[in-house]
Every structure is written in structure tokens, then in C-alpha cells.
Amino acid sequence: MNSSQAVYQGIKKAGVDFVVSLPCVNLGRLMELVECDPEIMHIPVTREEEGFGVCAGAFLAGKKPAILMQNSGLGNSVNVLASLYQLYRIPILMIISHRGTAGEFMSAQVPMGNATPRVLDALKVVYLNPQTPDDALKLIPEAWILSEAGEAPMGILLDITFW
């Protein structure tokens, strides 16, 4: 199973039925799989912060939400994670393509790449870092269980080497 299929099967196994997305070159295949799935409502958004708002609304109606995003979008989403998700205790699965990690070819990605884990730590967002497709398939459904039970976002950080 390749990396994109493993993440897709992981979110299917988690029961995710509502996905918002902004693209990353590493998320392209996953976005296609989600878009073609009739059991998943897929909403492309214009900014990650907006996507978190859309997912919160869907969660209030009983959906199991996930966001597909590049780590750069985490910077756009700091306030919504604190003053909507943490404040009201709302779960979401954050599938994050983590650029600026080992193997990055573009230096511009490095500063936010380095900051990403510490921004998540500052927000007290727990994250997992699967290294292989098998890891992702196993950890993503577990992450959703923790997110729902803990009423808090869970991050899945996917390094460049993962893809």
C-alpha cells in the first residue's frame, strides 16, 4: 500500500465523513481519493483557519471531521485552534503534510517547518508522526478515537520522507 492510500484507508477506518482541504504537493493523491469517495463530504476551502471553522460547524451536526493541510497553514489557524477548538472542546483530525523536514528542497519551507512542532506544543495539540504507510494505517484511526474521547484536535504530522 502506498503512502496516500494508507492515509486514506486510515481516515476511512476512523469513520471520518467530512473533510476540508487546502492542497500540498504531497497531498494531491489523497485529495483525489477523498474527492471521489461518495461517503465523504469534501469541501475545498480558501484558508486553513476557515476550514477549521467549517469543520467545527459540521461537528456540531454530528460529522466526524478532518482537515488536509500543509504545515504552513497551521500558522493561519493558531487563534481558531485556541479560541474555538480548545475553548469549546471540539475534536478534529489534522492531517498535516510537514514540509521543511529532512529532504526538503526548498529553503523557504524550513522556518515554518521548524516552528511547526513547537506551535502545536504551544497550543497543546497532541500529534503523532507515522513514518511508514503501515504506521499511518494503524495510528490514524487511533488518533481519531483519542480526539473524540479527549474532545480535542489530534495532529498527524507526515514528514517529507513519509511520502
- Which residues of this chain interact with other proteins, rule CB under 8 A? 18, 41, 43-47, 49-63, 65, 79-80, 82-84, 87-90
CB closer to other proteins out of 5 and 23: 23
CB closer to other proteins out of 73 and 100: 73
Shortest distance in whole angstroms from residue 35 CB to other proteins: 14
Shortest distance in whole angstroms from residue 88 CB to other proteins: 5
Shortest distance in whole angstroms from residue 68 CB to other proteins: 15
**How is the chain split among helix, strand and coil, in percent rounded to 5?**
55, 20, 25
Spatial CA neighbour of 20 closest among 81, 90, 68:
68
- DSSP letter, residue 159: E
Shortest distance in whole angstroms from residue 144 CB to other proteins: 17
- Report CA-CA distances (Å) from 12 to 39, 64, 143, 161: 9, 11, 13, 23
CB closer to other proteins out of 24 and 157: 24
Q: Which three cell numbers stand for residue 97?
A: 503534510
CB closer to other proteins out of 28 and 57: 57
- Report CA-CA distances (Å) from 146 to 40, 90, 154: 21, 12, 8
Neighbours of 27 (CB within 10 A): 22
Shortest distance in whole angstroms from residue 148 CB to other proteins: 13
CB closer to other proteins out of 92 and 137: 92
Neighbours of 76 (CB within 10 A): 16
